[in-house]
Structure 1
Amino acid sequence: MNNHSIRPKSRNFGFDRGKPIDRYYIETFLENNRSEIKGQVLEVGDNYYTRTYGVNVTKSEVLNLIPSPDATIVGNLETGENIPEEAFDCIILTQVIHVIYDVKTALINTLKALKPGGTLLLTTTGLSQSCRTDFHGDYWRFTDTSLKMLLNELVDEEKIEMEVFGNVAVAKAFLDGLAIHEIPEAILGIKDHHYQVLLTAKVRK
């Protein structure tokens, strides 16, 4: 009967059990792109990833919709409010675009904020429980096809590097809210594009 439970182990992505499974892929992506996280860097919410993976960062900015202790810029990617143009060498946009309704405009404003030659490091969700809160909505799930088509409308194809992570075992564990330490490490690296848990994109302006 337990194999068919309608109750997940965690309704908080596994944060209450340890490190969520999708963080393994997010952090692998950022680790592999340390060299891009340099100069003036913008991150959303806080600057944990900038501090953890940044190399030769000269200025770290934090964007938030509302004032917060970490925010250095209170602005809105969807409307462009208070988003500077051509200001950043790197923008870290992890798990953000699926909670923005007008995602295309948000990406346009994000790319405008990059300096020429700057890099956007983006991750987003494919298969996931809802993350709707009182603070933000939850609007989209992406596939490699939809994300690539969306980005190709904004930049040339050769400026985009995408990768997809996940398989059926990872998808089931993530939806159940298990943490990384609760699944065999060996299955994390197996990719099955029929079960796209997390998508990453490195986009060069």
Structure 2
Amino acid sequence: MKKSYVASAFLTFRDSQVLALVDFKQNKTLTIDNKYWLTILEIFIHEQSLEEAYQKFEETNSTKISEKQLKQCTKVRSDSDDLVVMLANKSLKVLKKGLMSLLNPEYTIDLTAISQENFQVITCLFNPENFSAHEPEINSFETFRQSSEYLETLGLLSPAINTIDWGDLRRRFPLCNLFGFTRGIPIDRYYLDKFISEIRPQVAGTVLEVGGVLQNREFYQFSKATEYHTLDIAANPGVTQVGDVHDRAMFKPDSLDTVVIFNVLEHCHNPWVVVENIYIWLKVGGKCFCMVPSAQRLHDFPGDYWRPLPDGMQQLFQNFCHQKLYVYGNPLTVVASFMGISAKELSTDELDNFHPDYPVTTCIVAMK
């Protein structure tokens, strides 16, 4: 099947580098260190076929940018406070005041028409002198194809409109109805293991695990726990205390060194009350280790009320003197989590590649 692409990127210039913005807060970026990539991206604004795009690429390399284009690009640069270039299907726009001006036409300049004259507008906007003179040339269809595929892996090129191959994901039901257990280890369990490996040395002293069982002490290898208590709303083997975590009378104030609460807060109708109780139960200097799902199917046993996100977790634990977030996930693992795809079906790189706008699980270490 012949490949066809469309550009899908937001580019800016910062600290003498051209950067692709990966998240809205601009905390994560990708460096564009080859000026030919800019030309490729611009061509795919207008052309979709890989073969036709390569022909345009060859023509562009043998043509100089016009004076008209040069003057307009220079003016745009001088008029922009926080220049961001948006590349989309059949559209090249400059956002004069950054991403916040995305929906404000007053701060948007449409350069689509001038780009069609010669696919060098983006290069001109970011000044070709900022790029190395020794960067690898793209001098054949094969090197052009390889560069296009690489830009696709970076998320800067995507399949052209109406050409997405949904494959096995074009289905009415998930691949596994129960989180991925029928296929292997669920995605969130993989991230829980990563979080536990980070916190294991800190889980010490008198420990309460909410929603767990005594066997977890050995399973999680919490070897520094001198006492291990478990709390659940139902009497089950391995539960040392039956009761509601919303009830402050369950434990004495300042009686615990550690509270572990994994995948429980989403089942609490008033999670802020639960966190307040944990704060009261902990000794000064004591720590709470909490994990919640941010992207996961409903699991209402007994109820499923919330999906706390990273900002929400910080708000819930705001009274603690120190907080540290551990957030895991990316677009691929969000889809995998909802579809019941197991962790073993993805590579370690695919699982560990973090995107701040697509959390699967959010964890926090909070100290009283």
65-74 or 43-52: bigger deviation: 43-52
- Which residue does the alignment assign to 1:201? 364
Distance 2:183 2:215 in 1: 20
1:45 aligns with 2:207: no
In 2 relative to 1, CA 169–130 (structure 1 residues): closer, same or farther, beyond 3 Å? same
Spell out, residue by residue over 1:1-59, the C-alpha distance to the aligned partner (whole angstroms, 9 max, x if none): 63311210112111232211111111111111112111111112213443223132211
Q: Equivalent residue of 2:261, what SS?
A: strand
Distance 1:106 1:118 in 2: 16
Distance 1:85 1:60 in 2: 17
Code of the residue aligned with 1:113 in structure 2: it is: W
What is the Cα deviation at residue 146 of structure 1? Answer: 1.6
1:123 corresponds to which of 249, 273, 291: 291
1:86 corresponds to which of 251, 254, 259: 254
Higher RCO (Cα < 8 Å, 6 or more apart): 1
In 2 relative to 1, CA 27–2 (structure 1 residues): closer, same or farther, beyond 3 Å? closer
Q: Give RMSD over aligned pairs.
A: 1.5
Q: Is the 8 A contact 1:75 1:81 kept in 2?
A: no
1:164 aligns with 2:330: no
- Which residue does the alignment assign to 1:61? 229
What is the Cα deviation at residue 155 of structure 1? Answer: 2.2
What is the Cα deviation at residue 85 of structure 1? Answer: 2.6
Code of the residue aligned with 1:12 in structure 2: it is: L
Q: Percent identity, please.
A: 24
Q: Is the 8 A contact 1:89 1:118 kept in 2?
A: yes
In 2 relative to 1, CA 47–18 (structure 1 residues): closer, same or farther, beyond 3 Å? farther
Code of the residue aligned with 1:45 in structure 2: it is: G
- Which residue does the alignment assign to 1:155? 320
2:188 corresponds to which of 22, 31, 34: 22
Spell out, residue by residue over 1:102-122, the C-alpha distance to the aligned partner (whole angstroms, 9 max, x if none): 010011111222122111000
Distance 1:30 1:48 in 2: 15
1:178 corresponds to which of 309, 320, 341: 341
Spell out, residue by residue over 1:72-128, the C-alpha distance to the aligned partner (whole angstroms, 9 max, x if none): 111211133523332221111101101101010011111222122111000111111
Q: Equivalent residue of 1:187, what SS?
A: helix
- Which residue does the alignment assign to 2:86? none
Matched residue count: 200
Q: Return 5+ residue gaps in structure 1 as ranges.
A: none
Distance 2:187 2:215 in 1: 18
- Which residue does the alignment assign to 2:168? 2
Q: Equivalent residue of 1:33, what SS?
A: helix
1:106 aligns with 2:274: yes
Code of the residue aligned with 1:55 in structure 2: it is: S
Q: Return 5+ residue gaps in structure 2 as ranges.
A: 1-166
1:143 corresponds to which of 305, 309, 325: 309
Distance 2:216 2:355 in 1: 27
Code of the residue aligned with 2:243 in structure 1: it is: G
Greater per-residue helix proportion: 2
Q: Is the 8 A contact 2:231 2:245 kept in 1?
A: no
Distance 1:16 1:89 in 2: 37
- Moved beyond 4 Å, runs of 4+: none
